[in-house]
Structure 1
Amino acid sequence: MARAIEHGREAPDRFLEAWLKGVKKVGPQYFEFRAPIYDASVQPAASLEEVTSKWQVVPNEAFIEQSIGVLSSGEATLLAVMCSFYNAEWGGRLMRAQGIEGMADIAGTLDLDSNEIVAALLVNYTGW
């Protein structure tokens, strides 16, 4: 029980850390920097270094839809998986469009760094 409580406290920060690694890996141009919708007192981040909440850097749906096809298979897979954490339905469509049918396709397509990012996102996900 104590392990679960400690994990619950640390998970949001660990998720954000993994999220930002993923943003850097696929490219910040695929994301929008904005203020969190739940807290008007938090200003939009001007750069990745200023991000303190996953809400401040979210997938840019229109740009991703239009440009995911120019990415390598690994980059497109990582981006689609990240988008599925943000919006399961939309991210699922992106993954299917990349030929991803399950976890083995994800693991087999990604390099070690990307697999570690996905693993950290999965273990530390507490909802969006």
Structure 2
Amino acid sequence: MNQLLPREVVDQIMREEQHFAAAPQAFFEAWKRGAEIAGPEWFGDGTREGLNQAKSKWDLRPNLLRLNDALGVLSGGQRMFLSAMVSFYNAREGAAMLKRCGFEGLSDLGGLDLERRQVIAALVLNYAGW
């Protein structure tokens, strides 16, 4: 026996399909915005030109060696923001960096300004794996 799904269920499925179809591009746009805010020196080839010309998240991979070396001299907010971003790229490395920053849970992101919170929120919403 073939039963039709309720309209609201079909609508919800379609909204989710549309969201996840657009998610990779939305993630890249949020990632690029985060790289602009944090500074291009931490991503890709480390240049403003590289940031401007990036076509995918792969072009803006975080420079983990440089970040780990500088973690102790960055401001608390900068450390938290960059470490949270790294956690999308490499969960284990990002978790270690967050731990070094004293991150204990998501509420610690409350110390970020609105612009940085919006980037992290967009990354969470649109993350589909690296």
Aligning the two structures, in what range does the TM-score lie when normalised by the shorter sequence?
A: 0.7 to 0.9
Question: Which entry has the higher C-alpha Rg, 1 or 2?
Answer: 2
User: For the Cα contact (< 8 Å) 1:84–1:90, is it kept in 2?
Assistant: yes
User: For the Cα contact (< 8 Å) 2:44–2:50, is it kept in 1?
Assistant: no
TM-score w.r.t. length of structure 1: 0.86
* Runs of 4+ residues over 6 Å off in structure 1: none
Match of 2:121 in 1: 119
Match of 1:17 in 2: 29
More helix by share: 2
Output one character per residue of 1:71-104: Cα deviation in whole Å (capped at 9) or x when no partner: 1111111100000000000000000100001100
Gaps of 5+ in 1: 35-45
Query: Paired residues, what number?
Result: 117
Question: What percent identity do the matched residue pairs reach?
Answer: 40
User: For the Cα contact (< 8 Å) 2:85–2:94, is it kept in 1?
Assistant: yes
Matches within 5 A, 1:67-106: 67-106=70-109
TM-score w.r.t. length of structure 2: 0.85
Counterpart of 1:51 (choices 45, 49, 54) is: 54
| C-alpha RMSD of the superposition | 1.6
Q: What amino acid is aligned across from residue 58 of structure 1 in structure 2?
A: R
